[in-house]
Copies of this chain bind each other. A is one copy, B any other.
Amino acid sequence: MEHLDVPQFLGLLVMMLGAAKLLGAAAKAIGQPAVLGELVAGVVLGMSVAGIVDPQNEILHLLAELGVVILLFEIGLETDLRKLLKVGGAAAVVAVVGVALPFALGYAVCWALGLGNLVAIVAGASLTATSVGITARVLSELNRLQEDESQIILGAAVIDDVVGLVILAVVVGLTQGQEVTVLGVAQTTAIAFGFLGGTLLLGTFIVPPVVRLISRVDLPGTPTILAVMLAFGLAWLASVAGSAMIIGAFAAGLLLRGTPHAHEIERGVAHLGHFFVPLFFVTVGAAVDVRVLNPIDPANRQTLLVGGLLIVAAVVGKFLAGYAPFWIKSNKKVIGVGMIPRGEVGLIFAQMGLASGVFDTGLFSAVTLMVMVTTFMAPPLLKYLFPPIKSTKLAPEPEGIEDLVT
């Protein structure tokens, strides 16, 4: 599996896309978001069931990351920066409380179980970051991206992804026995948020004239590829600058939204998204090890207990965070539920904990269980609380694109 020749690679892509589309359709048929089916497709193809998709495989990992970068770029293209800034205060409060509360609850759970200080910190940290990919995809499928609740969720998820990075930097330092200084943390935080602010500020002035200039040159290929290059380029810069890649991709979408080619780009990128985005969700699903769910194996009971308590901490912490901006009129239940899914970042913490020896395999599995359950419970809950509305798009697409992000 580590080394793939070209035909094997093509076969793997066919199986991943086929399972994603098939189970996505099945999920829709029983009234669930398609993303749930894509995640299940990943579980089925993953190492603990069919053994076909190895999420650790380098090329699958790279393609999956292209998928989430393209997804966040698409979400950025659909997001009105002014609308987002209008709810910025509420989003910031949701993000901060949604990081602090799950961390505290997770820490408390581990402390109560007598697992030690460092273990409790890493486990608590793994509860902090919402998977913006899953939430954004579900909101997009429900045609609800333009609602205030969605803007708050999206803003908070983007912010807590950046916070998650800062926490990750701190926790990596801790597990390596480094001293954590206030100055260091402040610096990491400033860089992570500074990139987003700086890019948006500079980009607002630079991107529109550059787009005008480029559309005059006879470049082969559509504006779509140039837009994708901006998304990849900003994602790369974001990472080099010490911020999160998806922040760069999201910023690229925000910046291109106002340009004359935005609609054309949106449709073109959707085609790339249809290809790459399911690869991301299948890979996330493939990281799930269903064997830890078997309660007959006594070795799993401790894992299920710890995992169950972490799930409660994860769900309660984010749900209550939805109520933190008490002054707003929006549906706070929806905001809280929208923040529940943990994904990639939670798994990164789990893997880091295992690799550094802070977690044993039991605790690693408990955190994975928490990621799995929160990821899978959010789409149906969100759909129940926030029923889909009909598309508000003006005209039916001539080429039969049902919705931007499917």
A17-B225, A58-B59, A225-B274 known; A220-B10 Cβ under 8 A: no
A174 beta carbon closer than 8 Å to chain B: no
Task: List the one stretch of A104-112, A155-163, A235-243, A334-342 in contact with chain B.
Answer: A235-243
Task: For residue A187, give the distance in angstroms from its CB to the closest CB of chain B.
Answer: 20
A62 beta carbon closer than 8 Å to chain B: yes
Contacts of A25 in B (CB 8 A): 217-220
Asked if B245 and A10 make an inter-chain contact with CB atoms under 8 angstroms apart, the answer reads yes
A18 beta carbon closer than 8 Å to chain B: yes
Partner of A21, one of B62, B221, B272, B398: B221
A271 beta carbon closer than 8 Å to chain B: yes
Determine which residue in A4, A11, A229, A275 has the highest number of CB atoms from chain B within 10 A of its CB, and name it: A275
A401 beta carbon closer than 8 Å to chain B: yes
Task: Give CA–CA (A128, B24) in the complex, Å.
Answer: 46
A28 beta carbon closer than 8 Å to chain B: yes
Task: For residue A317, give the distance in angstroms from its CB to the closest CB of chain B.
Answer: 29
Determine which residue in A3, A6, A61, A240 has the highest number of CB atoms from chain B within 10 A of its CB, and name it: A6
Task: For residue A280, give the distance in angstroms from its CB to the closest CB of chain B.
Answer: 12
Asked if B62 and A225 make an inter-chain contact with CB atoms under 8 angstroms apart, the answer reads no
Asked if B264 and A226 make an inter-chain contact with CB atoms under 8 angstroms apart, the answer reads no
Task: Give CA–CA (A302, B272) in the complex, Å.
Answer: 47
Asked if A220 and B272 make an inter-chain contact with CB atoms under 8 angstroms apart, the answer reads no
Q: A27-38 toward B: CB 8 Å interface, digit per residue (1/0)?
A: 011000010000
Partner of A220, one of B4, B34, B225, B240: B34
Contacts of A11 in B (CB 8 A): 232-233, 236
Task: Give CA–CA (A29, B29) in the complex, Å.
Answer: 52
Task: Give CA–CA (A29, B18) in the complex, Å.
Answer: 42
Chain B residue with minimal CB distance to A268? B271
Partner of A225, one of B69, B224, B275: B275
Contacts of A28 in B (CB 8 A): 218, 220
Q: A303-338 toward B: CB 8 Å interface, digit per residue (1/0)?
A: 000000000000000000000000000000000000
Those of A267-299 within 8 Å (CB) of chain B: 267-268, 271-272, 274-275, 278
Asked if A14 and B236 make an inter-chain contact with CB atoms under 8 angstroms apart, the answer reads yes
Task: Give CA–CA (A220, B406) in the complex, Å.
Answer: 6
Task: For residue A352, give the distance in angstroms from its CB to the closest CB of chain B.
Answer: 15
Those of A1-29 within 8 Å (CB) of chain B: 3-4, 6-11, 13-14, 17-18, 21-22, 24-25, 28-29
Return 7 A-B CB contacts under 8 Å, by A number. A4-B58, A11-B232, A18-B229, A25-B219, A28-B218, A225-B275, A271-B271
Can you add 14 more A-B contacts, CB < 8 Å, to A10-B235, A11-B232? A7-B245, A8-B236, A9-B65, A10-B239, A10-B245, A21-B219, A25-B219, A58-B59, A59-B62, A220-B406, A221-B278, A221-B406, A264-B400, A271-B272
